[in-house]
Structure 1
Amino acid sequence: MKIKEEKIRELIAQLETILTALQDKEEEAEEVLSHINDEYQKSALNLIHYNTFRTFDLRSTQKKLRNLGLTRLANAEGHLKASLVKTRFILYSLLGDSPMVPIKSGLSIKNGKKLLAKRTKELLGYRSKGRRVRIMVTQPAQAAQDYEMVYDMVRNGMNCARINCAHDSREIWEKIIRNIKKAATAQGKNVKIAMDLGGPKIRTGAIAKGPKVRKFTPVRDESGNIVSPALILLVPQITEDSEPNTIAVASEWLGQLKEEDQLILTDTRNKLRKLKVVKVTGAQVLAHCYETSYIGTGTVVSNTRKDVEECAVGELPPIERAILLKINDILTITKADIPGQPSEFDEDGNLLKGAHISCQLPAIFNRLKEGDQIVFDDGKIEGHIETMHPDYFEVRITRAKEKGSKLRAEKGMNFPTTDLGISGLTEKDKIDLEFVAKHADIVNYSFVNSKEDVELLLTELKKWDVVNKLSIILKIETRFAFDNLVEILLTAMQVKQIGVMIARGDLAVETGWDSIGKVQEEMLSLCGAAHIPVVWATQVLESLAKKGLPSRSEITDATTSLKAECVMLNKGPYITEVLQLLNKILSEMERFHEKNETMLPKLEKL
């Protein structure tokens, strides 16, 4: 009995130490709290308490509390001080005693949950029937013309529509918004409109175009026998919408072709090839080819019919090239906007000239140093800076596919360990903000790294007189944003309605695949302590959206999103099916989860 009493007194002492630390930090934070909006005073204080609480290693204390059948404080972030004070009271009661110094518990457990629910409704709108978690859907350009598609999104559970200012134009944005409002009004719903500021994007520059050639290959079986010929479509002119198997020829010559005509050409490899005309439809002709052929601009095509003259193939678009990179390769990144080139080799495979590509944001060169990590194309290729020069740097590739990975133009470049000193607002963002302020309910703020970035946005919002009118969602997508999250939140709490988006794609690249699980859990806890709604973003049911079939891991991931207040979906041809499935998953699984707490309904058979 004495041993048990000693353990309880040890636990009481540990809790007293934590509560004293909370009180000390509260006094230190008076200046910070003086700038917080009245709406967030209690939440800011609770966040400061929770951040202080997490400076302790609590694992031993949690195990001892669990062994006594008490709370482990694992889900206490939204009402931390109240949970500590109540746990301390219970421990004293087990000894038949009471605390010598009473402590005000502050925000109650019930009120902490109420605050989060209230702010979620204000930020993201009313919830759908039977579902706590809202759904945000990224709008494609098609939504500007296809009202029925937008109507179906609203009907199937879209609570918030997202428009990305990095794409399309003001004219298209305005048409999308008009369709959203029309569809929402028609169904008696209130759909919030969120617009993403593009933010500074570090991407690879252009790559020199390849030859103006198109390859046509018949389909063969395992034995090499032709299963179906290559299909070649002859048209007068190639447009942006033309299929890849299209080539252009003179319309006058095209009009002379008949079904069963035999065409002859010498391809770019000097190989004699034959085509057979199988269908003539108006201004286009379909031909079959039974051998692999490389047809380029200027390739001469003749007809075996003597009454038809030969014709040269018209202008073809150049091949979009890529740089193939293997482990240990050296890639040069240039400051100057020079078209990139793949490596060049001699006939024996010896390297003649290394590959190079430019960086679209040359301002970062002043912040980089040898040894810095670099990641390309959402983590598909990795390397480190081996040598640094004023106008270029050389990267040693450390991660790629076994046979090499292709790096293309306009692909993302991340520097996870480097503070690039990039502001979250570009000049384009400031221009776009004028439109956002007039037409949106929420601005999604990209590339937030520090409290200074938040202050910059608030300054711009004041110019358009939309502070406390336009809600803010802070997109957390770098390791620096994660490390600075507490001060970012406290700075944003100067206004009434804020949220946080866990941008898991960029965040995984920036923090490392091995850390993203921990990072997103910590972000959920910190936002929970501040009673700030969280948007769970990136690749939710993406295979279903793009291909029509979800993977098993995606279903599990969608279930995990119940820890947030909103799930963001990206666009895709099967977005209606995604909405229907996600709505069902979230509605059914909420019986088992409330935020991050497991609920236990009566066990039922399937």
Structure 2
Amino acid sequence: SPEIWQAMIGHLRTAEQSLGQKCRIFMDLGGPKIRTGDIEPGPKVIHIRPTRDDYGITVIPARIWLTSSENPSSVPDDCAAQFRVSESFLKCLNRCDEITLTDARKKSRKWTVVDITESGSCVESIKACYVRPGTAIQLKNGKQTPRVQTEIQDFLPQEGILCLRKDDMVLVTSDSVQGTNEERDSAGNIIKPATISCTMPAVVTQVKAGESIWFDDGKIGGVIEKVEPEHFWVRIHHARPEGSKLRSAKGINLPDSQLNIAALTGEDLRNLSFIAEHADVVEMSFANSVTDVQLLQEQLKRLNAETLPIVLKVETRKGFENLPRMLLTAMRWPCCGVMIARGDLAVECGYERLAEVQEEILSVCEAAHVPVIWATQVLENLARKGVPSRAEISDAVMAHRAECVMLNKGPHITEAVEALDNILKRMQSHQRKRRPMLRELRLAHLTT
């Protein structure tokens, strides 16, 4: 929201003054991203699991946070789950007290109080348990009968998931209905196929039988077998052997379909006035045609932002094929650039062809003297887990041929920035753009 964006910009400007360095703000127009709709929620149950060794012996008990239903607090990082209970129950707890319950499987379980604070209490469980709303918990003290009892308050259900396997049929609908898994009779025959809606109903009438469709960044793939007025049928041909999980709000790619969709959504147009006032660069997602580029330029002129640099994000096969013509239009603007958005682009063009496609984009942009941003999953393992893979180090080296590299967020983003800076500095004397510099090798000075 604009309020959050404004706060982020404020923090950045403060950091600029503190460090004496200038940092440019890039803001993205989300564009017409097609996503999966809502999915019917799962059951209201939470599985509590302690850590066990190879012999099944608990080595680290599972930690659970109990907080007041009247004044709930946030769950600590070391707790696997949080449950809301009555405040009167919490006030009766002492360290080392035992809490008993019967879980959803009718198994008797015991929790031990290990910490008490003003905002809640932490308990530990050495055995796995399944907890659902309304579960009665009792406070015991030695051999005495239960002296205090309460119930676990209501909580959100599990996230809805469709489990799709190879050769499954999926019904993609334009209706705003919750997705559901397939239903089978006692003999294993399908009586109702899996169903999922999409966030852009207009595409349902624009696809054709025989065209491919991909879900969730290419993790699940299929072919459209039949198209009807309000839905179409998809036969899954790419999924994990044990089944792939599809969640709501995941991307849908239709690389073979000729879609007639406006490049700027209503939300984009509403956000553009804020971007024109506060951003240093505006990025256009799913730039597919000359008309798309012209539309953005017209909107910026309307906002008196004729000098705001624009970046065309190449994310689709159509955008790649139309890139030369889009560049000629964008280059009439005072400043422009191109982003190789390799996530959707890999799905649209195929992973096998991605290397060729990104090479062609680099070549075309170099010939046009247009700067390029190398994006998507650069040093992703390092940013998220703290340890890079060998493949992503090589990918970061390849990124040196672009003018800018984009990193995704993660808990180890600082280490990722430092590693990328180190890699790019080392590559400066080896290569400039796509040309090797043929510098003197350090190996030549090694003595035997």
Shorter chain as denominator, the TM-score bin is: over 0.9
1:512 pairs with 322, 345, 350, which one? 350
**Which stretches in structure 2 are left out of the alignment for 5+ residues?**
none
Cα deviation for residue 263 of structure 1 reads 2.5
The structure carrying a bigger strand percent of its residues is 2
Which residue among 43, 50, 53 is the counterpart of 1:221?
53
- Paired letter, 1:520: Q
Letter of the 1:594 counterpart: R
Amino acid at match of 1:582: L
Task: List gaps (5 residues or longer) in structure 1.
Answer: 1-168
Q: Is the 8 A contact 1:255 1:283 kept in 2?
A: no
Residues 241/198 of structure 1: CA separation in 2 closer, same or farther (3 Å cut)? farther
Q: Is the 2:205–2:230 Cα contact (8 Å) retained in structure 1?
A: no
How many angstroms apart in 2 are the aligned matches of 1:288 and 1:530?
A: 63
Q: 316, 329, 336: which one pairs with 2:175?
A: 336
**Offset at residue 219 of structure 1 (A):** 2.5
Q: Is the counterpart of residue 525 in structure 1 residue 338 in structure 2?
A: no
**Alpha-carbon contact 1:423-1:447 (below 8 Å) kept:** no
1:314 partnered with 2:150:
no
Q: Matches of 1:388 and 1:394 in 2, distance apart?
A: 6
**Whole-angstrom distance in 2 between the partners of 1:377 and 1:491:** 32
1:270 paired to 2:106: yes
**Mean alpha-carbon deviation: is it higher for 499-508 or for 215-224?**
215-224
1:203 is matched with 35
2:441 counterpart residue number:
603
CA offset digits 1:427-482 (Å, max 9, x no partner) = 11111110111111211111110001011111111111112x10111111000011
Between stretches 343-352 and 470-479, larger displacement belongs to 343-352
The alignment partner of 1:201 has SS state of: coil
2: distance between equivalents of 1:527 and 1:397? 37
Q: Distance in 2 between matches of 1:239 and 1:378?
A: 36
Query: Equivalent residue of 2:410, what SS?
Result: coil
Change (3 A) 1:465 1:297: same
**Relative to 1, partners in 2 of residues 1:390 and 1:360: Cα closer, same or farther, differing over 3 Å?**
same
Measure how far apart 1:337 and its partner are.
Answer: 1.0
Which of 443, 446, 456 is 2:285 aligned to?
446
Residues 406-431 of structure 1: per-residue CA shift (max 9 Å, x gap): 00011000001112112211111111
Letter in 1 for 2:107: K
Amino acid in structure 2 at the alignment position of 1:266: T
Evaluate the alpha carbon distance shift between residue 362 and residue 573 of structure 1 in structure 2; reply closer, same or farther with a 3 A threshold: same
How far did 1:269 drift?
A: 2.2
- 1:207–1:551 distance in 2 versus 1, CA, 3 Å: same
Rate the CA distance shift 1:397–1:555 in 2: closer, same or farther, 3 A: same
Mapped contact 1:256–1:308 kept (Cα < 8 A): no
1:413 to 252, 255, 267: 252
Once the 2 structures are TM-superposed, how far is the Cα of residue 225 of structure 1 from its aligned partner?
Answer: 2.6
Q: Does structure 1 retain, via aligned residues, the 8 Å contact 2:64–2:80?
A: no
Distance 1:229 1:348 in 2: 42
On the 8 A contact 2:36/2:251 being kept in 1, the answer is yes
5 Å-filtered alignment, 1:47-446, equals 169-237=1-69, 244-304=80-140, 305-306=144-145, 308-346=147-185, 349-446=188-285
Q: Distance in 2 between matches of 1:366 and 1:428?
A: 23
Higher CA-based Rg = 1
Any idea what SS the aligned residue of 1:332 has?
strand
Alpha carbons 2:47, 2:128 under 8 Å: kept: yes
Q: Secondary structure at the match of 1:584?
A: helix
Following superposition, the deviation at residue 244 of structure 1 comes to 4.4
**Cα 1:464–1:383 shift into 2, 3 Å:** same
Letter in 1 for 2:320: F
C-alpha RMSD of matched pairs (Å): 1.9
Instruction: Please list the CA deviations of residues 258-287 of structure 1 after superposition, one character each: whole Å capped at 9, or x if unmatched.
Output: 333333222222233233333333342232
Corresponding residue of 1:536: 374
Task: State the distance in 2 between where 1:324 and 1:368 align.
Answer: 24
Over 3 Å counting, the alpha-carbon distance change for 1:189 and 1:312 in structure 2 is closer
Give the drift of 1:288.
Answer: 2.7
2:58 partner letter: I
Q: Which residue of 2 aligns with 1:17?
A: none
Q: Is the 8 A contact 1:533 1:564 kept in 2?
A: yes
Change (3 A) 1:312 1:348: farther
Identity across the alignment (%): 45
The residue identity in structure 2 corresponding to 1:447 is F
Distance (Å, rounded) in 2 between the aligned partners of 1:430 and 1:593: 41
**Structure of higher RCO (CA pairs closer than 8 Å, 6+ residues apart):** 1
Number of aligned residues: 437
Question: Which of the two has greater helix per residue?
Answer: 1
2-side partners of 1:177 and 1:280: how far apart? Answer: 39
Q: TM-score, normalised by structure 1?
A: 0.69
Please list the CA deviations of residues 284-311 of structure 1 after superposition, one character each: whole Å capped at 9, or x if unmatched: 2232323321111111122334362321
Once residues 580 and 488 of structure 1 are traced to their aligned partners in structure 2, the CA distance between those partners, rounded to angstroms, is: 35
Cα distance 1:495–1:228, how it changes in 2: closer, same or farther (>3 A)? closer
Q: Sort the Cα spacing of 1:283 and 1:481 in 2 relative to 1 into closer, same or farther, 3 A.
A: closer
Give SS of 1:205's match.
Answer: coil
The one-letter amino acid paired with 1:340 is G
Post-superposition offset of 1:239: 6.0
Shift of 1:574: 1.7
Partners of 1:219 and 1:351 in 2: how far apart? Answer: 38
Q: Secondary structure, in 3 states, of the residue corresponding to 1:246?
A: strand
SS in 2 for 1:364: helix
Residues 1:412 and 1:264: Cα distance change in structure 2 (over 3 Å): same
